[in-house]
Amino acid sequence: MMSQLDIVLVDDDPEYHEIFRDYLQLALSETDYRLTCYDNRGEALQALGEGAFTAVFVDYRMGAESGIEFIRDCHVRGVTAPFILLTGFDTLSAE
């Protein structure tokens, strides 16, 4: 039996949290998982530093900060979960 997937979404747009939740329900309909969403960088950093997670999805652009900076901060704090960077940009280039 597979253990529960513990997934985190970090995105400063709370409306996207619901969209992402809907996609996960479709993609993981037969999987036991928990999704925790954060729209606040500080709260997300604290939670990630305190727990073990299966995967962390991070928005590329979170206000004035980039998701890449957030991921770097997490690694500095010892977070070892795999990160997946999300973007709504229509180009393949990154800053």
Per-residue model confidence as pLDDT tens digits over 45-57: 999 999 899 999 9
Q: Could you give the angle at the alpha carbon of 26 between the alpha carbons of 29 and 16, nearest 5°?
A: 125
Chain centre distance of CA 48: 10
The answer to whether the CB of 38 falls within 8 A of the CB of 8 is yes
Q: pTM of the predicted model, to two decimals?
A: 0.88
Q: Looking at residues 65-87, what average pLDDT do you find?
A: 93
